[in-house]
């Protein structure tokens, strides 16, 4: 850590010393009890967690005095060893300056790559560039209060504070998260700007279900309110919902549309799931929240394990995954700061507590360039209000609606009514050429095979040369649809991550693991560079970018995966082909590539395998029998 500012410790102590009074006022001393402290009933969720954003300011957090924050340095009289944990309405920060590590893998560049990562009007610049927008210091190191909302308009943060219900324990894990937030005040300031267009809708939905308003703050922990966030576990959107959970909750996911990123639909689904978890865990919100992150099965097993051993079964006593043990305290720390930001030296920009979004029906598929023109918006802003849209138009199968700023909705509806449904998407006729397939034609026009079959009433996949097909086409070039899934991924892949870029064309049997080992890079980095999750399938012909560093980087052409296996874990086996075996089936069984199998055995792709034939296979024994 760097050398602290001379008055940093004193400033933090002054900012937090009032917590002692708040704690003693709200909670009289309790009789001693064993540590760690038990927690009251509380809550849980289902996606992967999104750790702090990857801006340069947060990769190098401002240090507090000393290598470790002690309770005394913060003006906080922590409980004696083995003594009681004190709970209070306003939580108290304490020991452990643990910067939050890791981040979800977004399908577009993070803010430090020069891209906006929030909704419209949520520019995310480095701290130096936003100094003028932040509250000025009052002279003693604490920020002045943020300007109030326009006269007569209530502040949404006040409404949220009134609905915070979950007690915050004085627990080391909560104190660590509070310490990080105190050291990085810019983080919550940026997140609140991203949340501005959507937070009131989420608050209203949470209130309608009589849930604690801490739930409305969950996207701060999950995704930092980045609608395009995508984690290595395939979780997407501000609520970080994984595909399996989305299907169980009735969220539509298609080539055109991903409801996990749709603000309205993902909020509905996340709250549905949280309600189920809350009921499943007998009204304990902390257990429900833990299960949202780790899955109810993991939490159920942890509870059963503690019961067998005669231990408490509240969240604070369960042995859960490390991410989950941090996840719930992080939400409680965020809620504590929202409840009393001035005590922590953090200013939250006011958000007017008035309707901002309108959900407008479209009656069918519509080209997004046309929709943006009718709404008098930029196409980029339309994508940011509707981050679930993957392509150049809405999904022909629905949902047939758009989310717009409230002040644009009436004009959009009036203008849309003047355009007949068939004119809301452009159409062209394509004459089939010899050798073309429906797949070739779909890729050329950026539609799906299913769409071509549906429009032209084709039952199978057979088409004839000379046949005429009606195809929906985008009204603008690819560059205009700058936040489509393809454009976001292309921008991510073009972002420099090393000294030299190699483009690898996927071959039959390739896996991310094989390719990463061949080039000497980590699997997670390879996935992040290409906007993929670790379990996303690879198709032959796909291209991946690999960033290498000069001096010690592996050759641009990948070597055999077997050649990079450590000697101590590499074994050669001889496999006897059985009836029904194929090269791809054998490759999957031993976690090698088809290309390697062919090369090791002097075969050619497409060669017929005979039962009883012996094949040489080089395997990594550490990978067999896993996952």
Cis amide prior to 399 (ω within 30 degrees): yes
- Compute the distance between CA of residue 55 and CA of residue 127 in angstroms, rounded to an integer: 9
Q: Give the tens place of pLDDT for each residue, 314-342.
A: 999 999 999 999 999 999 999 999 999 99
C-alpha 254 chain-centroid distance: 18
Residues paired with 155 in a beta bridge: 352
In angstroms, the Cα distances linking 39 to 36, 87, 290, 313 are: 9, 9, 13, 10
Number of H helices, E strands in the chain: 23, 10
451, two tokens: 């769409």
For 133-262, where are the alpha helices, taking DSSP H only?
156-162, 172-183, 185-195, 199-208, 218-223, 243-248
* 148 phi and psi angles, rounded to 5 deg: -70, 165
Q: What is the pLDDT of residue 7?
A: 43
**pLDDT tens profile 448-477:** 888 888 888 888 888 888 888 888 888 777
Instruction: Quote the pLDDT of residue 482.
Output: 67
pLDDT of residue 96: 32
Task: Enter the DSSP assignment of 456.
Answer: H
Closest CA to 314 of 326, 322, 302: 302
Say how many C-beta atoms besides its own lie within 10 A of residue 520's C-beta. Answer: 16
According to the model, what pLDDT value does residue 462 have? 85
pLDDT on residue 570: 53
**Whole-angstrom distance, CA of residue 298 vs CA of residue 355:** 39
Please give the pLDDT value at position 301.
97
Q: Angle CA(146)–CA(150)–CA(153) in degrees, nearest 5? A: 105
What pLDDT was estimated at residue 294?
A: 95
What residue ranges of the chain have pLDDT lower than 70? 1-151, 478, 482, 484-486, 489, 551-571, 620-627
The catalytic site residues sit at 222
Compute the distance between CA of residue 428 and CA of residue 216 in angstroms, rounded to an integer: 45
Q: At what angle do helices 322-339 and 285-294 cross, to 10 degrees?
A: 130
Residue ranges of domains in the chain, CATH in brackets: 40-49+151-344 (1.10.530.10), 357-422 (no CATH), 426-480 (3.10.350.10), 495-559 (3.10.350.10), 565-620 (3.10.350.10)
- Angstrom CA distances, 181 to 176, 346, 388, stand at 9, 9, 30
């Amino acid at each position: 850590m760097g050398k602290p500012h001379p008055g940093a410790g004193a400033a933090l102590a002054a900012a937090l010393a009032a917590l002692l009074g708040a704690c003693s006022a709200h909670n009289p001393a309790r009789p001693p009890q064993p540590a760690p402290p038990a927690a009251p009933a509380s809550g849980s969720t289902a996606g992967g967690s999104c750790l702090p954003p990857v801006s340069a300011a947060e990769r190098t957090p401002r240090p507090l005095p000393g290598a470790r924050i002690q309770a005394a340095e913060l003006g906080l009289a922590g409980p004696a060893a083995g003594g009681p944990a004190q709970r209070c309405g306003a939580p108290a920060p304490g020991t452990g300056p643990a910067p939050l590590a890791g981040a979800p893998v977004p399908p577009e560049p993070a803010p430090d790559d020069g891209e906006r990562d929030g909704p419209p009007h949520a520019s995310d610049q480095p701290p130096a560039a936003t100094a003028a927008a932040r509250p000025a210091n009052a002279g003693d190191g604490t920020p002045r209060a943020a300007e109030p909302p326009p006269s007569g308009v209530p502040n949404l943060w006040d409404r949220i504070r009134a609905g915070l219900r979950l007690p915050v324990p004085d627990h080391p894990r909560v104190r660590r998260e509070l310490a990080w937030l105190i050291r990085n005040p810019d983080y919550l300031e940026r997140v609140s700007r991203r949340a501005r267009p959507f937070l009131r809708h989420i608050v209203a939905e949470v209130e309608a279900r009589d849930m604690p308003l801490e739930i409305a703050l969950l996207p701060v922990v999950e995704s930092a309110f980045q609608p395009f966030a995508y984690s290595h576990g395939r979780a997407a959107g501000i609520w970080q919902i994984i595909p399996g959970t989305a299907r169980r909750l009735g969220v539509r996911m298609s080539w055109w549309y991903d409801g996990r990123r749709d603000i309205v639909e993902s909020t509905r689904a996340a709250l549905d799931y949280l309600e189920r978890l809350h009921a499943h865990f007998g009204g304990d919100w902390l257990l429900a929240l833990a299960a949202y992150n780790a899955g109810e099965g993991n939490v159920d097993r942890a509870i059963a394990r503690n019961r067998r051993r005669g231990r408490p079964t509240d969240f604070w006593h369960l042995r859960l995954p490390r991410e989950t043990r941090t996840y719930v305290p992080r939400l409680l720390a965020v809620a504590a700061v929202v409840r009393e930001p001035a005590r922590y030296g953090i200013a939250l920009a006011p958000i007017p507590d008035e309707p901002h979004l309108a959900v407008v029906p479209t009656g069918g598929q519509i080209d997004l360039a046309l929709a943006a023109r009718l709404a008098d918006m930029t196409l980029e802003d339309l994508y940011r209000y509707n981050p679930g849209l993957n392509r150049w138009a809405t999904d022909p199968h629905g949902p047939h609606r758009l989310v717009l700023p409230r002040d644009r909705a009436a004009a959009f509806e009036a203008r849309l009514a003047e355009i007949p449904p068939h004119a809301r998407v452009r159409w062209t006729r394509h004459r089939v050429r010899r050798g073309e397939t429906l797949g070739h034609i779909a890729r050329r026009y950026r539609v799906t095979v299913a769409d071509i079959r549906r429009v032209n009433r084709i039952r199978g996949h057979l088409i004839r040369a000379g046949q005429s097909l009606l195809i929906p086409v985008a009204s603008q070039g690819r560059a205009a649809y700058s936040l489509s899934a393809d454009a976001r991924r292309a921008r991510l892949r073009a972002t420099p991550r090393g000294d030299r870029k190699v483009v690898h064309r996927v071959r039959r049997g390739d896996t991310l693991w094989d390719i990463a080992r061949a080039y000497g890079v980590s699997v997670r980095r390879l996935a992040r560079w290409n906007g993929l999750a670790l379990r996303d399938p690879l198709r032959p012909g796909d291209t991946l970018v690999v960033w290498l560093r000069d001096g010690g980087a592996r050759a641009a052409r990948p070597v055999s995966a077997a050649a990079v296996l450590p000697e101590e874990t590499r074994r050669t086996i001889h496999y006897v082909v059985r009836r029904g075996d194929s090269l791809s089936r054998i490759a999957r069984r031993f976690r090698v590539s088809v290309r390697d199998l062919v090369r090791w055995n002097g075969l050619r792709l497409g060669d017929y395998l005979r039962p009883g034939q012996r094949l040489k296979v080089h395997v990594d024994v550490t990978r067999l029998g896993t996952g």
